[in-house]
Amino acid sequence: MLFTIDVGNTNIVLGIYDKDELKFSYRMATDRTKSSDEIGFFFLQILQNAGINPSQIEDAVISSVVPPVMHSLENAVRKYFKKEPIVISSSTPLGMEILIDNPKELGADRIVNAIAAYELYGGPAIVIDFGTATTFCVINEDGNYLGGAIYPGLKISIDALVERTAKLPRIEITKPENVIGKNTVNSMQSGIVYGYVGMVDFIVKKMTKELGADDLKVIATGGLSTLISEESETITHIDRDLTLKGLKIIYEKYLK
């Protein structure tokens, strides 16, 4: 079995693959203060609940955008699974050219998403990851990474709005019944959800024009991908497990 781990700023997403089957996935909060033992015991508990023996884990592959977590996380894998974790970075040989000014700046999650999108859906493609930040990644018809865009995530946007205003309450991020809100909560929900949809569609259309592509695939992933995709005119696929799939693809194709 393959243990896949995607470390984001808000959540760590875990997945266990048995050959081609994703047995389960699990989200835990990213906590920079946890020790390797705390992380290791948590991993063991998850596996126990799923009826999986730690000895069944053959390898562990990790993508991360949170360096402070990595020391404890890697040591947890070594101590509790007796495996040397494989950590994906821009220097990992993956057969994909990163055609940006400084490839070392590119986050591992964006690399993994790009590989997964091209392998599963083909190119040209745009991957939109609705995480702590919302990222757009553009892959050409040859599977090479062209660049992208970064925008504040939905939760960050709400947090900033609430923290910088005196009377606006913290709200649930959900689609309101009407665009024209009749109260403060619905007005905020309308602004954040429909405003975000408008942003996504505008950027995708501009990117599509720059690429000159007619058969562009637009893949949405991340925790809030379904919410935005329901109203978007440009998103063609929703794949919430894209990063975990990408880690498995990279392991099988390039690292095994």
Active site residues: 109
CB atoms closer than 10 angstroms to residue 9 = 16
Q: How many whole angstroms from its chain centre is CA 164?
A: 28
Q: Which of 125, 150, 133 is nearest to 239 (CA)?
A: 125
How far apart are alpha carbons 218 and 232 in whole angstroms?
11
- For the record, the structure tokens of 84 come out as 């040397």
Neighbours of 140 (CB within 10 A): 16
Q: Which helix (H) or strand (E) holds 137?
A: strand 133-139
The C-alpha atoms of residue 113 and residue 137 are separated, in whole angstroms, by 8
Residue 44: half-sphere exposure toward Cβ, Cα within 13 Å: 14
Number of Cα atoms under 13 Å in the Cβ half of residue 70: 16
* N- to C-terminal Cα separation, the chain: 12
4, 17, 52, 127, 226 from 48: Cα distances, Å: 17, 15, 6, 34, 30
